[in-house]
């Protein structure tokens, strides 16, 4: 593993340390339960249950809608998506994957994006103080 040299790399390691501490706590609290959980993902999985487990859209349909909304934000040069838009679109991509290798790749993208968001929250908090 390479050593962190730039400020943003040091911040990333600090955030990953927080994530690691949370993972340790999860393992302490839940132990082997995670080994029994299914992925629950795939292109036809019901992502947003309504009422009595009725489903109004599959993961693929929702991901397509999020992609349209996300891309629409770039039609005007001055508009950017929010962190919520970015994470929502990435998690939708992960939820539609049934192949374990592709699912892992998508979840790594989600995790990296969330770490980046946390870094920005830290940076903004430091600037405000």
The whole-angstrom separation of Cα 38 and Cα 36 is 7
Do you know the residue count of the chain?
Answer: 129
The whole-angstrom separation of Cα 62 and Cα 19 is 28
Residue boundaries of the structural domains of the chain: 40-128
Please tell me the predicted confidence (pLDDT) of residue 34: 74
Please tell me the predicted confidence (pLDDT) of residue 31: 82
Do residues 69 and 61 touch, judged by C-beta distance below 8 A?
Answer: no
Residue keyed to tokens 């005007």: 76
In angstroms, what CA-CA distances link 15 with 43, 89, 98, 116, 123? 32, 22, 29, 9, 11
Residue keyed to tokens 């990296």: 112
Q: 27 vs 2, which has greater pLDDT?
A: 27
Please tell me the predicted confidence (pLDDT) of residue 113: 93
Q: 52 vs 66, which has greater pLDDT?
A: 66
Average pLDDT of span 45-72: 73
Per residue in 68-111, pLDDT (tens digit) is 877 777 666 657 777 887 888 889 889 889 999 999 999 999 99
Residue keyed to tokens 């940076």: 123
Please tell me the predicted confidence (pLDDT) of residue 1: 55
pTM of model > 0.85: no
The whole-angstrom separation of Cα 34 and Cα 79 is 40
């Amino acid at each position: 593993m390479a050593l962190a040299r730039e400020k943003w790399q040091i911040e990333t390691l600090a955030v990953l340390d927080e994530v690691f501490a949370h993972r340790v706590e999860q393992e302490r609290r839940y132990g082997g339960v995670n080994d029994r959980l299914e992925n629950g993902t795939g292109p036809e999985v019901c992502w947003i249950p309504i009422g009595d487990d009725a489903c109004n859209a599959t993961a693929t349909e929702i991901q397509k809608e999020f992609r349209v909304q996300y891309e629409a934000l770039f039609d005007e040069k001055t508009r950017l998506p929010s962190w919520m838009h970015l994470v929502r679109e990435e998690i939708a991509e992960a939820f539609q994957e049934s192949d374990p290798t592709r699912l892992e790749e998508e979840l790594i993208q989600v995790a990296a994006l969330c770490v980046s968001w946390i870094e920005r929250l830290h940076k903004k908090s430091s600037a405000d103080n």
